[in-house]
Amino acid sequence: MEFNWYLNEALKKRDFSGEFNFAASRSSGPGGQNVNKVNSKVELRFLIDTSILLSDNEKEIIKTKLKNKINSEGELIITVQTDRSQLKNKEKAIEKFYEILTKALTPRKTRKATLPTKASVEKRLDEKRLVSEKKALRKGIE
């Protein structure tokens, strides 16, 4: 978890704001009549291929791990419409962008194969023995 935090801070040091494209539209969320008048839904678009702040290796990792969030033009699309304010939704979209990138670029831990403990092996064998005895008692006397 500490590595994940470090990676997030390292990503935030890179300023992607110049590479963001924002689009606003009418939200379906809360707001009463305000929903029908104000464009509060924010869509953040980020072109992965043209980014100068990401290395080629990072671009490939992002493309494979986030393929469901990337359209045919190679844009990473993040949509936020939780708040009534367009500005708050914009801030949340940027925060979500950094979280998604951090999660995608964090390497998975490799699983270390372990042997079962002596106690767990004995417990399993005891349970097998009990089941076997129970089934043996079900047999009729011949």
Q: State residue 1's pLDDT score.
A: 43
Q: State residue 85's pLDDT score.
A: 81
Question: What tens-digit pLDDT sequence spans the chain (142 residues)?
Answer: 444 555 556 666 777 777 787 877 776 655 566 666 677 788 888 888 888 888 888 888 888 888 888 888 888 888 888 887 888 888 899 888 888 888 888 888 899 999 999 999 999 999 999 999 999 989 877 6
Architecture of domain 2-105: 2-Layer Sandwich (3.30)
Q: State residue 3's pLDDT score.
A: 47
Q: State residue 49's pLDDT score.
A: 83
Secondary structure (DSSP) of the chain: -HHHHHHHHHHHHS--GGGEEEEEE--SSS-TTHHHH---EEEEEEESTT-SSS-HHHHHHHHHHTGGGB-TTSEEEEEE-SSS-HHHHHHHHHHHHHHHHHHHHSPPPPPPP-PPPHHHHHHHHHHHHHHHHHHHHHSPP-
Q: State residue 128's pLDDT score.
A: 97
Q: State residue 129's pLDDT score.
A: 97
Q: Where are the domains of the chain?
A: 2-105
Q: State residue 31's pLDDT score.
A: 58
Q: State residue 121's pLDDT score.
A: 96
Q: State residue 113's pLDDT score.
A: 92
